[in-house]
Structure 1
Amino acid sequence: MFDCGGLAIGVPLSHKVADGFVIFTFFQAWAAACRFGNTTEVVTCPSFEMGSLLLARDTDKLKIPVPEEYGVTMVTKRFVFDELAISTLKAKAKAIGEVSRVVVMTAVLWKARILVVQAKHGLLWPSLLNISYNLQRKTDCLKTEDADDLFTLMISSMTEIHEILEKNETDICVFTSVCGFPYYEVDFGWGKPSWVNSVHKPSDIVLMMDTECGRGIEAWETLEKKRTC
């Protein structure tokens, strides 16, 4: 609680048990439950039965490595791109067709990353882009007979990425986007939030989120202090 009367709500949650879609679904259900009695909307209760359906095995053998940034001075920077700036960038990309806000911002930030790495090494380094975003409602339901092929493809891609990482000859640029999630609509009964943010930002990962209006993008990146400029 702040002196002005404002209130901040923090939720510690591991990415091992929930992805962005699950997290925001939980927030919506939690907020709706808090408003119960003051609204006519139906409260949707999330299911917590998955653990009984997909049992964990040999969890004691899991070894969690110490984060690379442990003991290193890290700097997190926030870059805000408003609707006008994004529209201007999208207009420049019209030659290749219609592109989304996330795609155009990924291209701009990736280009900047490539130039920074080039300045550091004195030559243009290979760069691999890894981007994660929500595929809910954007893809058809997977057919059961296709599941094994999808799993094999995923493992193959991950193995290839790990082999590239071990050689240390390629800059890995990781992006993750939660744009489009209705987190600014989450209302616990005190009104909608004025700002939503993630406290934990792993090293070398660019996190993209909507601005409050829903048309701009906040981009967050965490790097070693000596690599910031």
Structure 2
Amino acid sequence: MVEIKSEIVSRQTIKPSHPTPPHLKTFKLSLLDQISPDIHSNMNFFFPSNNTSHSISNRDFFHKSMLLQDSISKTLSLFYPLAGRLRDAATVDCNDEGAFFVEARVNIQLSHFLSQPDLNLMDHFLPTTDPMTMDLSNGAMFLVRFTSFTCGGVAICFSLTHKLADVSALHTLVQTWSSVCRGSSNPITPLLIGENFLAPRDEFHGMSATVNIASEKFVQRRFVFSASKIAELKARVSHEVLQSRFSRVEVVLALLWKCAVATKIQKIGSFRPTTLFQAVNLRKRLSPPLPETVIGNFIWPIMVSAYEEKDLELHEVVIQLRKRLNEFNNTKANMFRGEDAPLAIMEAIKERREFIRSNKEMEVYKCSSWCKLPLYDIDFGWGKPMWVVSVNRLVNNTIALADTNSGDGIEALVTLDEEEMALFEQNEQLLKYANPNPSIYAFYNSNYNCRL
């Protein structure tokens, strides 16, 4: 196991390069933002060194840090609410108090960490896991930690409040930020529509969704599905699903859910009904669609349930996932438009809560997918990342899917109860298709030009 010692070199606030105009000082969030939890999501990029000499790595790190800080300042002027502070569940005070930036260093080479990345060590790179940083940041909604490795490699890890952004919005932010850092004069401009999409409700003035943080110990593990193994899995399902279209995400998710439930059965000795919530991006599903650059929370869960163990056969899960997605696209997506949209949304939330309340014995799992987001194309001016990852420190029974750095595989981060994970990692059906925590280099695209 790799042992890491980390040291914070500096902490500072970064203000927007231009003050927010008076008429934009108050930003009203949309109803979907209003009901989103006030927690921080993170996105972490690991870049190899682009230098040949270790002796200039410190100078190189300082230069990159200055570029990042300057580009954050300019980016905040475009994403002006991110430099403000939450006033309540539906309002941002755009007071230009700024983002928070941390410089740090670790005592190992990047290659040592990426050879078999240990998710338990990610606290060394996240800005939000340092109590002093969180205290000094004074409620900042956008925090960045920039870390140097002894080889000259670097990690850029940023955290953003979920109140203002889902994963697509995170991607838009990092696209703009990285292009500004490279010196682009025409970066992607975010679309900040807030209440103009769906106005927040006065009766929910102080309401944000709560996150049920598990009291028991839980752990997160990484499993990688290569392109060839995904093809095998799809071929297996195709024998049963002859005329339905399905995606690689659906077959991988079906297997992971099935194996997670099998683990639960091993633990408690019997099958319990189970439900899977999969988050979908609303932007392209609305009529008319919204641009991908719109900032905010534009995701909604579709739900699949299994009341008997046979309902978890892979082809059955894939069929149900596709069926629910089609139903949502064809009918339910329309509820987000029109005068009745707020009431329809609140009614849907009420029905979901009532379903969970009336099925207390049901095991609930949640999935989000980052697949097809071109995260490995992000370039701050020193090449593309070797690894992009988002870690979950808060919620149990979750599955997060993303593309591998080669672009043709899927990386799954699974969070389970500690006892269940010990069983999950030994599941023979899972291990037939998934490689547990392989080296980042195992799926590395040789077309990337990098030096370690």
Which TM bucket (shorter chain)?
0.7 to 0.9
1:221 is aligned to 414
Q: Which runs of 5+ in 2 are unaligned?
A: 1-147, 290-333, 424-452
Aligned: 1:137 with 2:137 = no
Query: Counterpart amino acid of 1:119?
Result: Q
Report if the CA contact (8 A) 2:392-2:415 is conserved: no
Is 1:123 the equivalent of 2:270? yes
- Equivalent residue in structure 2 for 1:81, among 204, 208, 225: 225
Task: Give 1:80 deviation, angstroms.
Answer: 0.8
Moved more, 159-168 or 216-225: 159-168
Identify which of 235, 247, 267 aligns with 1:91: 235
Aligned counterpart for 2:248 among listed residues 101, 113, 134: 101
In the TM superposition, structure 1's runs of 4+ consecutive aligned residues that sit over 4 Å from their partners are 51-60, 63-67, 142-146, 148-154
Tell me the C-alpha RMSD between the 2 structures.
Answer: 3.0
- Indicate the SS of the match to 2:365: strand
- In structure 2, what is the equivalent of residue 182 of structure 1? 374
Is contact 1:164–1:170 with CA below 8 Å preserved after alignment? no
TM-score, normalisation: structure 1: 0.83
Unaligned runs of 5+ in 1: none
2:279 & 2:250 partners in 1: Cα distance? 12
Percent of aligned pairs sharing the same letter: 31
8 Å CA contact 2:386–2:405 kept in 1: the answer is yes
| C-alpha spacing 1:67/1:144, structure 2 compared with 1 (3 Å) | closer
Amino acid at match of 2:352: I
- Report the Cα distance in structure 2 between the residues aligned to 1:196 and 1:126, rounded to whole angstroms: 34
What SS does the aligned partner of 1:46 have?
Answer: coil
Q: Helix, strand or coil: the match of 1:99? A: coil
Over 3 Å counting, the alpha-carbon distance change for 1:65 and 1:189 in structure 2 is same
**Greater RCO (Cα-Cα under 8 Å, separation 6 or more):** 1
Q: In the superposition, relative to structure 1, how do residues 48 and 218 fare at CA in structure 2: closer, same or farther (>3 Å)?
A: same
User: Residue in 1 aligned with 2:355?
Assistant: 164
- Corresponding residue pairs, total: 225
User: Per-residue displacement from partner, 1:177-221 (whole Å, max 9, x unpaired)?
Assistant: 111101111100010000000133422111111110111111112
Q: Is the 8 A contact 1:175 1:205 kept in 2?
A: yes
- Cα 1:91/1:138, change in 2 over 3 Å: farther
Question: 1:11 corresponds to which residue?
Answer: 158
Instruction: Give the distance between the partners of 1:185 and 1:168, measured in 2 at CA.
Output: 43
1:131, 1:175 within 8 Å by CA — same for their partners in 2? yes
Q: 1:73 to 1:218 in 2, by over 3 A?
A: same
Q: Matched residues in 2 for 1:63 and 1:24: separation?
A: 23
Provide the TM-score with structure 2 as the length reference.
0.45
Q: How does 1:65-80 map to 2 (within 5 A)?
A: 65=210, 67-69=212-214, 72-80=216-224
Which has the higher Rg, Structure 1 or Structure 2? 2
Greater fraction of residues in strand: 2
Cα displacement string for residues 13-34 of structure 1 (whole angstroms, at most 9, x for unaligned residues): 1222101111101111111111
